[in-house]
Structure 1
């Protein structure tokens, strides 16, 4: 006896195909435009964006400070380069801080030409601090002239930089020293904040005294001393929290601040 044939089977394929067409067609069918979503206008802080880019990309140039508007301070280092100057440069580079280094000629000549080149290459300013760190007011005219010229010539040969600023050792100056300095195309730079790091080799004391800076201050330190370099993280942190930008003395002067400060 023959079994009856299943007459419903031929309908399965067309119905399944129809279902697929409906599903796919529904997915592909154009959708009605969505209602616009109201969003508040976005305000872009370009300064913040630049700082974030700088943090993400080492070497990204930070915007140049305008010391007529920004809170600027000039960190200055005398008597080097010395055995701790390299570490100091590492700290400044990590914080994108610029400084001014008043170098002594005989220290440069004592096998530290590479450090002087690095100071210039990393955007810091080089200043003349004489050849032998002599008290200029006590020297005859010819030796006063040589103290400045000899250091200036050496730094220029090594780096191509003609120094435009000078600091007299011990802050000792007079009209004669000022005239010779001008004759050699330099400005005298003293200071208004003395950390006394040459006397008190205590990082906490150096940090506390440097933090007394006000907008436009020139801070005196010495890169010869390990304690000074150890203090730099605290100095940079405390002044940064107060909104200071770290600039060279020439940038400070160019931004409308004083070019030199009276010694206290």
Structure 2
């Protein structure tokens, strides 16, 4: 009996000293379905979402919107929530860009869970879905970020092409970058754009759509370009109440 008890205690001490490594979230940087291009849009929901969506739908294309909870405005504001629901209802993919667009690698375990959870909750309340994809702000992550994201069922998504809108490129420069991308003919495209810039929504997006489609790409959501499910669950939207606030 004593030997058995000592053995059990030894196993417990070893387990405590060497804890099991939790599963880290997968980090996506490229699409996997040939001849697909995923146009993604960060930092909304902002007023130019409608321009982006209409350009995509007119071309029989879909995009992916990575939404913040409280960055360029509160996601629960009536106009912002309406944009989120509009994007989802039009068949675009809605996903997480975290709550406040913080540098995730500077945050603690609890702070990371809060950044992910609060925007997941907002998307579930507004659209009824729990997203399966998240984009880390600035593309920054470490093992702790991946561990928290993995626990929350999130796949992290970065990109292999940047339109440059967030670093000051003009519309003409972004359009030229898309021209050069199409001419290079990569197997797939995972493109970073930001819906919060008027020139992106009204000039660059229509050009990108036409250019990529002419080059033979099918414009799809991130989930479609990976042949994965976009959401962890799909249900009915919530009812607005006093808790819908930032």
TM-score (norm 1): 0.68
- The corresponding residue for 2:76 is 109
Equivalence map 1:59-78=2 (5 Å): 68=33, 71-78=35-42
Instruction: Identify which of 31, 38, 44 aligns with 1:80.
Output: 44
* CA RMSD in angstroms, aligned pairs only: 1.5
Relative contact order higher in (CA < 8 Å, ≥ 6 apart): 2
**How much does 1:138 deviate?**
0.2
Matched, 1:215 2:187: yes
2 CA distance for matches of 1:122 and 1:153? 21
Where 2:167 maps in the other structure, the secondary structure is coil
2 CA distance for matches of 1:99 and 1:215? 18
The structure carrying a bigger strand percent of its residues is 2
Equivalence map 1:1-264=2 (5 Å): 68=33, 71-106=35-70, 107=73, 108-111=75-78, 112-211=80-179, 212=181, 214-229=186-201, 230-254=203-227
Q: Is the 8 A contact 2:178 2:211 kept in 1?
A: no
- The corresponding residue for 1:12 is none
1 CA distance for matches of 2:43 and 2:204? 17
- The corresponding residue for 1:46 is none
**How much does 1:83 deviate?**
1.8
> Quick check: 200-209 or 114-123, which moved more?
200-209
**How much does 1:201 deviate?**
4.5
1 CA distance for matches of 2:38 and 2:215? 15
1 CA distance for matches of 2:169 and 2:200? 7
- The corresponding residue for 1:30 is none
TM-score (norm 2): 0.73
Q: Is the 8 A contact 1:136 1:168 kept in 2?
A: yes
Q: Structure 1 residues 110, 208: closer, same or farther in 2, change over 3 A? A: farther
- The corresponding residue for 2:22 is none
4+ residue segments displaced more than 6 Å = none
Specify the structure having the higher radius of gyration (Cα). 1
- Give ranges in structure 1 of 5+ residues lacking alignment: 1-66, 256-264
Q: Is the 8 A contact 1:100 1:248 kept in 2?
A: yes
Q: Structure 1 residues 87, 159: closer, same or farther in 2, change over 3 A? A: same
Q: Is the 8 A contact 1:101 1:127 kept in 2?
A: yes
Where 1:162 maps in the other structure, the secondary structure is strand
